[in-house]
Amino acid sequence: MTAAAAALHLTPSAVSHQIRELARELQTPLLEPHGRKVRLTPAALVLVKHADDLLARWEEARSALEAFRAGASGMLRLSGFPTAMALIAPAAVLLQERNPGLQVTVRESESEEGFKLLLADETDVLLLTPTDSGPAPDDPRFDQQPMMSEPLDLLVPADHPLTKKKKLALADAGCEPWILPVPGTCDHHDRAMVACAVAGFTPHVAHHATDWSAVAALVACGLGISLVPRLTELPARYELVRLPLTVEPVPTRQIMTCVRRGSRQSPQIQQALRALEEVVEDRVALAAAS
């Protein structure tokens, strides 16, 4: 007992007390008299055989907890509208490369569904574009913050006359046939209609398409033009031109991050937000260079 106390920098009475407490918790005697001294009982010898393993597992648990607190382990769930996958997917790759112990999952969801996923604790970080049916910015359940303002470009066939204009306003496309989503199926329809109204015209919608591949196919065949968010990736096989609008007002869409209120400072969520910011910076730089 004296030697154990010296090794642990405790008094013999403190060691004796700890052993009595452990024996009480285990409901098994751990010490027995042996002459003027004491010795370990057979039950205590069984326990000693597991001591090193218990200590190793405890150190593993402490290391895992430290990694969790540093944001390097645990589970992180990202969600966003379809075209936001171009930002979320590379951010997920960054997160997994930097933190192999972090389990990252991605789920596509329109903004309205994403709010429900947050409330049900089925996602942690949501990328969204504001809509008139979404919660207000001061909704106490959510923490919504702007991430970027993305310009909308005019999408036209490669041989379209508008490609020759040095300065382009959205109003210049007022008499063109348009390709937009069916009303009520996608928030891009409302965004494009509002942008055209601000530019002073109501577009003639000749065809309806929601998927960007379908929009690209229709535009490439000369069936109409459309507005496309700058970061949206389009099939390379079509002969298309994305024309930046240079005359104000230039239509944009806001991309927001949203988390459950109070969770933004979580280490895992902070890691996710930093990764998303890096991806956005890279994409904006690439778009500017092209």
Measuring CA to CA, how many Å separate 153 from each of 57, 61, 83, 173, 232?
57, 52, 15, 12, 10
Residue at 18: amino acid letter: Q
Query: Which residue's entry shows tokens 């052993």?
Result: 19
Paired strand residues for 178: 205, 225
Could you tell me the two tokens for 65?
């907890």
pLDDT in the model for residue 71: 66
Number of domains, the chain:
3
Is residue 132 domain-shared with residue 171, that is, in the same domain?
Answer: no
pLDDT in the model for residue 76: 92
Measuring CA to CA, how many Å separate 174 from each of 192, 200, 221?
12, 8, 19
Contact 5, 15 (CB under 8 A): yes
Residue ranges of alpha helices (H) inside 120-266 are 187-199, 212-220
Is residue 144 domain-shared with residue 155, that is, in the same domain?
Answer: no
Measuring CA to CA, how many Å separate 240 from each of 91, 160, 221?
28, 9, 9
Is residue 195 domain-shared with residue 226, that is, in the same domain?
Answer: yes
CATH number (domain holding residue 111): 3.40.190.10
Give the model confidence (pLDDT) of 216-228 as tens digits: 999 999 999 999 9
Following DSSP, what letter does each residue of 111-144 receive, concatenated? HHHHHHHHHTTS-SEEEE---TTSPPTT-TTEEE
Q: Of the residues 53, 69, 85, which one is the last residue of a structural domain?
A: 69
Contact 146, 139 (CB under 8 A): no
Q: Of the residues 69, 92, 122, which one is the last residue of a structural domain?
A: 69
Cα–Cα distance between 242 and 84 in angstroms, integer? 19
Is residue 118 domain-shared with residue 35, that is, in the same domain?
Answer: no
Is residue 43 domain-shared with residue 160, that is, in the same domain?
Answer: no
Is residue 39 domain-shared with residue 58, that is, in the same domain?
Answer: yes
Cα–Cα distance between 111 and 128 in angstroms, integer? 5
Is residue 261 domain-shared with residue 188, that is, in the same domain?
Answer: no
Query: Which residue's entry shows tokens 């979580």?
Result: 266
First to last CA, the chain: 76
Question: How many Å separate Cα 91 from the centre of its chain?
Answer: 8
Domain that holds residue 143: 73-148+254-289
Task: State which residues of the chain have pLDDT below 70.
Answer: 52, 56, 59-72, 287, 290
Residue at 143: amino acid letter: D
Q: What is the model's pTM?
A: 0.70
CATH number (domain holding residue 39): 1.10.10.10
pLDDT in the model for residue 68: 67
Is residue 159 domain-shared with residue 210, that is, in the same domain?
Answer: yes
Is residue 127 domain-shared with residue 270, that is, in the same domain?
Answer: yes
Is residue 53 domain-shared with residue 109, that is, in the same domain?
Answer: no
pLDDT in the model for residue 175: 95
Q: Of the residues 21, 40, 69, which one is the last residue of a structural domain?
A: 69
Cα–Cα distance between 205 and 203 in angstroms, integer? 6
